[in-house]
Structure 1
Amino acid sequence: MSDAPGDDPHVRLLLGAYVLHALEAGETCRVARHLQGCDDCARDYVEVAEASALLALLSAEDLGE
């Protein structure tokens, strides 16, 4: 696989795990490298990161538990 961001497959399916720091080091580097060169995936990353931050603000009460 090439190190050039444009040659790397899109990483949308990995963004949730990336935001939560749940990827192995190699995958984390691959996603970070891809995000530097892919505006579409970078926009998706921002949306996932914002959603994750908002979910962290919810309490059990907010979720009806």
Structure 2
Amino acid sequence: MHVRQLLGAYVLGALTPDEDRRVAAHLRSCAGCRAAYLEVAETPSMLALLLEEDLAEDPPDE
């Protein structure tokens, strides 16, 4: 599997330690994957801003 396919799991901390080391090593040497990583790197902090109501199928009326 190419590293780019693992970036989402990488930023969420969902990889095995071996996969995590492999992705980190690849990012040090590949500018293209590093750029792709930077596009998704803030995802966890953005997800943390969501409230449970934001994820409801029928959000409450304001």
Residues of 2 paired with 1:20 and 1:59: CA distance? 18
Gaps of 5+ in 2: 58-62
**Larger Cα-atom Rg:** 2
CA apart distance, 1:17: 1.0
Q: Pick one of 40, 44, 53 that aligns with 2:36.
A: 44
**Quick check: 49-58 or 27-36, which moved more?**
49-58
Contact 1:10/1:41, CA 8 A, preserved across alignment: no
CA RMSD in angstroms comes to 1.8
**TM-score (normalizing by structure 1):** 0.72
CA apart distance, 1:33: 0.3
Please give the per-residue CA displacement for 1:13-61, whole angstroms capped at 9, x wherever unaligned. 1011111111111111110000001111111111112123211210012
1:19 paired to 2:11: yes
Q: Give the corresponding residue for 2:46.
A: 54
Identity among equivalent positions (%) equals 58
Count of aligned pairs between the two proteins: 57
